[in-house]
């Protein structure tokens, strides 16, 4: 019998996930049915959103069942196909599970072919040239409507999406302010091209620090954090400013005690637009987004920021490091 190794959920985490919340198990290798394909995972993505799938509560995807493999984005290679549109050897991205082999249909969430350029590391297509870059582009331009000359504020700016937003905004002619925790991460944000990097851990008054960096206010806030940071930013938004809500990582590990913002009246005062988004709700713009990402990368204006591990068994450790704030850039695991 052919088998596959996978990472399963043993118990639902309380707070930051622990190694004992996960297990490395062996299961029968799945067999594709009519119209389906068997994929061998090559690169697995660790994303903060996965934390929400581990709780037994509604998210934009159903929670992971106890004993089931963890859900997540994957880049893989077709090794068996019952679908002529997806022949053996095709590289693809899709939302799958943490398993060496998995079966998907042509209608799988986020499924798309990947045609890597010679010499470009494959993992980039799961980072700045893939879902990370697409998320940054959609939030900044489709939701945030950022334009040249505007001031863009980015939280978690040393993270996967945040560091990409910094670079895209600079390439578009915006003035960019990045928030990050600690001097090392703040330096990374500067290295990515931000005009100002604020170490929020060293700022006794975050709102005052942002106001000093942007005395005329913020046009676009790309929010990866939520909670107190969002509360600090709201009064600093300019008239008709836009807030693109990509995530709220500040409360992913404590979803039972969400932070309540006390100044949402600022939405009315400054006639703000605040909108959450999921990248793949906007398929009509992803071609344009991908073309821009590829162009900027080829011009040296988009530099993927990644931390890469090797081996399926490293997935829990990589995910825990991500959710503990110990990583910078995109967290990826090569399989």
Q: Which fold has domain 3-127+304-334?
A: Quinone Oxidoreductase; Chain A, domain 1 (3.90.180)
Q: What is the pLDDT of residue 252?
A: 62
Residue 327 has pLDDT above 80, yes or no: yes
Which residue spans within the chain are E strands per DSSP?
Answer: 3-9, 22-28, 36-46, 71-81, 91-97, 101-105, 112-113, 151-154, 175-180, 196-199, 218-223, 237-245, 273-276, 306-310, 330-334
Residue 110 banded pLDDT, cuts 50, 70, 90:
confident
pLDDT digits (tens, 9 = 90+) for 235-262: 999 999 999 999 987 666 665 667 678 8
Between 13 and 260, the more confident residue is: 13
pLDDT digits (tens, 9 = 90+) for 58-97: 777 899 999 999 999 999 999 999 999 999 999 999 999 9
Which of 111, 98, 143, 165 shows the shortest CA–CA distance to 309? 98
Could you give the 3-state DSSP secondary structure of residue 112? Answer: strand
Domain boundaries, the chain: 3-127+304-334, 131-280
pLDDT digits (tens, 9 = 90+) for 181-195: 999 999 999 999 999
Domain 131-280 CATH assignment equals 3.40.50.720: yes
* Arithmetic mean of pLDDT, 292-301: 97
How far lies 261's CA from each of 181, 226, 227, 265, 334, in Å?
21, 9, 7, 10, 39
Average pLDDT in the chain: 95
C-alpha torsion sign, points 161, 162, 167, 172: positive
Strand partners, 36: 105
- C-alpha to C-alpha distance for 234 and 38, rounded to whole angstroms: 47
pLDDT digits (tens, 9 = 90+) for 137-173: 999 999 999 999 999 999 999 999 999 999 999 999 9
Lowest mean pLDDT across 48-52, 57-61, 282-286, 329-333: 57-61
Residue 310 banded pLDDT, cuts 50, 70, 90:
very high
Q: Are 76 and 114 in contact (CB under 8 A)?
A: no
Between 262 and 299, the more confident residue is: 299
Q: What is the pLDDT of residue 280?
A: 87
Burial string for 19-40 (b: 16+ CB within 10 Å, else e) reads eebbeeeeeebbebeeebbbbb
- C-alpha to C-alpha distance for 202 and 117, rounded to whole angstroms: 42
Q: Are 315 and 8 in contact (CB under 8 A)?
A: no
Tokens of 201: 């851990």
Percent of the chain with pLDDT over 90: 90
Q: How many residues does the chain have?
A: 335
pTM of the model: 0.90
């Amino acid at each position: 019998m052919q088998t596959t190794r996978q990472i399963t959920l043993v118990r639902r985490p309380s707070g930051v996930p622990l190694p004992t919340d996960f297990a490395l198990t062996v299961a029968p290798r799945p067999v594709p049915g009519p119209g389906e394909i068997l994929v061998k995972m090559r690169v697995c993505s660790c994303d903060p959103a996965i934390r929400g799938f581990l709780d037994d509560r509604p998210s934009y995807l159903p929670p992971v069942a106890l004993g089931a493999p963890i859900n997540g984005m994957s880049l893989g290679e077709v090794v068996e196909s019952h679908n002529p549109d997806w022949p053996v050897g095709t590289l693809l991205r899709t939302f799958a599970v943490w398993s060496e082999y998995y079966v998907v249909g042509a209608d799988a969430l986020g499924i798309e072919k990947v045609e890597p350029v010679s010499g470009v590391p494959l993992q980039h297509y799961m980072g700045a040239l893939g879902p990370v870059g697409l998320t940054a582009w959609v939030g900044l331009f489709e939701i945030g409507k950022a334009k040249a000359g505007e001031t863009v504020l980015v939280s978690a700016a040393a993270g996967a999406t945040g560091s990409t937003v910094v670079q895209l905004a600079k390439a578009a002619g915006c003035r960019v302010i990045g928030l990050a925790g600690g001097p090392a991460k703040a330096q990374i944000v500067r290295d990515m091209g931000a005009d100002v990097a604020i170490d929020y851990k060293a700022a006794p008054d975050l709102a005052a620090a942002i106001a000093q960096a942007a005395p005329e206010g913020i046009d676009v806030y790309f929010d990866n954090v939520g909670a107190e940071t969002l509360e600090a930013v709201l009064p600093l938004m300019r008239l008709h400013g836009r807030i693109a809500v990509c995530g709220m990582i500040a409360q992913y590990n404590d979803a039972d005690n969400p932070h309540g913002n006390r100044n949402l009246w600022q939405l009315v005062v400054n006639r703000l637009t605040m909108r959450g988004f999921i990248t793949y709700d906007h398929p009509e713009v992803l071609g344009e987004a991908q073309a821009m990402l590829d162009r900027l990368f080829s011009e040296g204006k988009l530099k993927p920021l990644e931390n890469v591990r090797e081996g399926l068994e490293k997935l829990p450790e990589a995910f825990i490091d991500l959710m503990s704030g110990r990583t910078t850039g995109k967290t990826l695991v090569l399989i």
